Chains A and B, each alone.
Chain A
């Protein structure tokens, strides 16, 4: 049943121009960053050769690209998640899902996985651009893998938060703005804390994502993203069930 929802979401997503515009927009930005970084690497290659333990192709091209990708996704995920529930409510199509013999958990997971599948396409494009460098150079594949894992976990949390905000309203635009605001608060939570031991650092998405970009996988970061995603998925299920269940 979850699969039915996933295919339905992807089909309606790709039937609208939004998905294609977002994909094209992301690809243009990322390709541009990619090319400028490759260009930069070529100009400083001679100097790098003289430095012991110098950063390689992966550090100079792929890591900055996933850094930029995380910010571009932060801005584009709200556009994808805003429609998930808010638009169905607005078009009155939610009644079809609500009166079908499927649970709210299945609806929420289906919508979440469909968004994640779309975002995995973006991740795949990033991976392909990075791996294309293998044609003429050496890459640190482990570092690329942790970068992609970090991006996947990050976008998973984005999708879960966006889905929850979309459950709160019937206006897709309100959902998009609310989601973006929530992302920025989580992204920049550490800026508010000048004390390096402040617990706000634990909340910051950026801090946790940075570790993956540097190639380290810490259990705390994995738990952080898992908890964040699970919390907002459960909140979404509870929000949708609230209409159906007795208060």
Chain B
């Protein structure tokens, strides 16, 4: 995760655009990824995440722009580039009439694994995805969570350099979500992983960097720390049983910006990078404000979107004026 600048570039996409008639599904999306990094594509439904991933995996031709996988052009040399990618589409591509073992063997053969390498590869993929006892089961008879794991197993069976997972945790129960996230973090150690999601905490839990898409455009591209900063930095939410006037709270919190959420709850946004937590707590105790809640006030995904898109509109207005 650290020292990423020195490791090799595995995915490089330049100015990807895809139009369907007059509708632009994806506009000017560029991204770069190195070995050992996990990139999250975050966005609401219809933001262009799936279209971007289809272009990165060679399932869909970009209207313009280019994709290089480990330096190999995806459109000129598709088979060489594709052998380095493992892809789990939004709907796992499962043949329901096959058994798990049969299906994974097929996936391995499609990725040109040698006969001798096939069996260990199937076992390894099954173990990593928690499918060790499921080999003889028909895929059609598995639950949604296990089907999703089979989908992930087929994406990693050939030990690809780049793993692209489209909404890997959708439809799973909380325990399975935790397991899949742990698996992704594990994979991210020596592969490059791109995953898409519309769940913000998921990105923060597993990704090193994040790219937020909105209406087919990249509106935010930064590290996770940058995203946290953007979501409110050191903003705090405090709950007081005997709240004083807002100005008094602001005074105690090194002149932070304070909004009242309701009679007892306040949001405190520090100014000038000074952490007001200590002074606030001391003031609350000394002046008997009845402090019962103190937590980081992070913006939700919706708020981030509103913020980002407003900023963009402001910029457009600024450019027009």
Interface residues of A (CB under 8 A from B): 1, 4, 8, 11-12, 15-16, 91-103, 243-247
Contacts and interface: CB of A to CB of B under 8 A. Distances in A.
A95 B107 CA distance: 12
Contact of A95 (B62, B89, B95, B97): B89
Given A15-B97, A243-B61, A246-B63, A96 B75 contact: no
A92 B89 contact: yes
B79 A97 contact: no
A244 B154 CA distance: 21
B209 interface: no
B106 A8 contact: yes
Nearest to A8: B106
B98 interface: yes
B266 interface: no
B49 interface: no
Interface in B50-77: 57-63, 75
Given A4-B109, A15-B98, A96-B107, 15 more contacts: A4-B106, A8-B106, A12-B95, A12-B98, A15-B97, A93-B95, A95-B87, A96-B154, A101-B79, A101-B80, A101-B83, A244-B59, A244-B60, A244-B78, A245-B75
Contacts of A97: 110
A92 B93 CA distance: 6
A11 B98 contact: yes
Among A8, A94, A97, A247, find the residue whose CB has the most chain B CB atoms closer than 10 A: A8
A94 B78 contact: no
B268 interface: no
A244 B61 contact: yes
A93 B106 CA distance: 13
B111 interface: yes
A95 B79 contact: no
B97 A243 contact: no
Contacts of B112: 1, 101
Contact of A99 (B62, B87, B95, B97): B87
A101 B82 contact: yes
Contacts of A93: 93-95
B91 interface: yes
Contacts of A245: 61, 75
A103 B97 contact: no
Contacts of A102: 79, 110
B82 A99 contact: yes
Contacts of A99: 57-59, 82, 85, 87
B102 interface: yes
12 contacts: A15-B98, A92-B93, A96-B93, A98-B57, A99-B57, A99-B87, A101-B78, A101-B79, A243-B60, A243-B61, A246-B62, A246-B75
Contacts of A95: 57, 59, 87, 89, 93
A160 B218 CA distance: 44
B157 to A, nearest CB: 11
Contact of A92 (B82, B91, B106, B107): B91
Most chain B CB neighbours (cut-off 10 Å) among A4, A12, A95? A95
Contact of B61 (A4, A92, A94, A247): A247
Contacts of A103: 78-79
A177 to B, nearest CB: 24
Nearest to A103: B79
Nearest to B102: A11
A114 to B, nearest CB: 13
Contacts of B96: 91
Nearest to B151: A96
Contacts of B102: 11
Which 3 pairs, one residue from A and one from B, show the smallest C-beta to C-beta distance?
A96-B93, A101-B83, A15-B97
Contacts of B106: 4, 8
A7 to B, nearest CB: 8
Interface string B32-50: 0000000000000000000
Nearest to A92: B91
Nearest to B54: A95
Contacts of B58: 98-99, 244
Nearest to B59: A98
Contacts of B87: 95, 99
Contacts of A91: 93-96
A6 to B, nearest CB: 11
Nearest to A94: B93
Nearest to B87: A99
